[in-house]
Structure 1
Amino acid sequence: MNEPQPQALLVFTAAPDREAGMQLLKSAVVQHLAASGQVIQAGNVFWHLGELGTSEEWQVTLRTTRDRYPELEAHLLANHPWDNPEVMYVTIGGGSPEYLDWLKREAATSS
C-alpha cells in the first residue's frame, strides 16, 4: 500500500551573519514561500578547497510545502550572499494536524 507523500518540508541554509540570515528568512516568509523559520548561531567545521575550516555561521531553518520548495530554493539561491550556499531539505514526517494545516495555508501561493 502506497502512503501519500508528506507535503511539509524543513529547509536549511546558512548565512555569514544574523542580519543576512534574517533577511533571507523574512523575505521568504513575506512572499509566502515559507510559513515560518528561525535563525540560530552555530559553530561549523567543514572542508573547503582541500582544507579543514571552522567558522561561526547562522543556521536558517524554514518550514514550507513540497509545492513551494522550487520557488523557495530559487529565492534563497538568488538572494544569498554566498556563491554556492547550502540549500537542502528534509521531509517532515508528521506533526499536529492543526500545525501542518497552518503551514500549508501560510506557504500557499499568494494571490
Structure 2
Amino acid sequence: MAHEIVIAQTTSDDEGQATMLARGAVESKLAAGVHIDAPITAFYWWKGKVEAAREWRISYMTTTDRLPALEAWVHEKHSYDVPQWITLPVTGGSEAYLSWVFEETESD
C-alpha cells in the first residue's frame, strides 16, 4: 500500500465536543473512523501548576496524506488553547481494514 495509515489522537473535556470532533472528521472524510474512549482522568502541568481533568480520548484512523488537513481541522474546531495532538504509526493490520481506511479518506 503506497499510503501509510496512522492513528491521530486528541482529547476533550466535553463529551459533546468529543462527539462533534469525531463525527465532523468522518463526515469530512478526514478520517475513516473515530473512537471515543470512555472518560479518563488526565493530570498535566498548565500555567505553573498541576491540573486534573476528566477527558474523552478521540482516536482518528486516517492516512498520512489526510493527516495535515485533519490536524488543521481539529485545531480550528477544538476549544483548548493547546489541544493534545499526537500521531501513532500503524505498523501492521489486516489488508482489508487498511484498504478501507485509505478508500474512506480519499478526497473527492
**Range that drifts further, 44-53 or 69-78:** 44-53
Q: Can you give the 5+ residue segments of structure 2 that lack an aligned partner in the other structure?
A: none
Counterpart position of 1:51: 49
If the length of structure 1 is used for normalisation, what is the TM-score? 0.91
SS of aligned partner of 1:105: helix
- Give secondary structure in 1 for the equivalent of 2:88: strand
For 1:5 and 1:30, the matched residues in 2 are separated by 24
TM-score (norm 2): 0.93
Pairs within 5 Å for 1:1-111: 7-40=4-37, 41-109=39-107, 111=108
**Percentage identity across paired residues of the two chains:** 28
* Preserved CA contact (<8 Å) 2:3 2:65: no
Runs of 4+ in 1 over 2 A off after TM superposition: none
Q: Which runs of 5+ in 1 are unaligned?
A: none
Count of equivalent residues: 107
Q: CA-atom RMSD, angstroms? A: 1.4
Contact 1:6/1:93 (8 A) holds in 2: no
